[in-house]
Amino acid sequence: MNKIKNIPEFNTEAEERDFWSEKDSTEYIDWRKSKPAFFSKLRPSTKTISLRLPEFLLEELRMLANKRDIPYQSLIKIFLKEQIDKELKKTT
């Protein structure tokens, strides 16, 4: 078996993401010693933004969200994700 290399220290998540996108983790981690991990309360990273909407649009969003019994901010995220997925499918 080859010697396991030391994992470098990273200054940012982006730097670490770039590193792992180009490297084979088996050179840095002995996966035979791994154990399952559960992250039941893990949430995706979010960034707060400010978004100005016409009042009528916000009221319509609230009405639709109420029908689905979810917060209107969650409904906005759902709508955005659905539309982004559609747009990305058009380009592929």
Residue-wise pLDDT for 59-90, tens only, equals 999 999 999 999 999 999 999 999 999 999 98
**73 domain-assigned:** yes
Query: Is residue 85 included in any domain, yes or no?
Result: yes
The reported pLDDT for the residue numbered 43 is 81
pTM: 0.53
Considering the domain boundaries, does residue 1 fall inside one? no
Q: Provide the domain limits for residue 40.
A: 13-91
Q: How far apart are CA 1 and CA 65, in angstroms?
A: 56
Q: Is 8 a domain residue?
A: no
H-state helical runs in 1-92 = 13-22, 55-68, 72-91
Domain count within the chain: 1
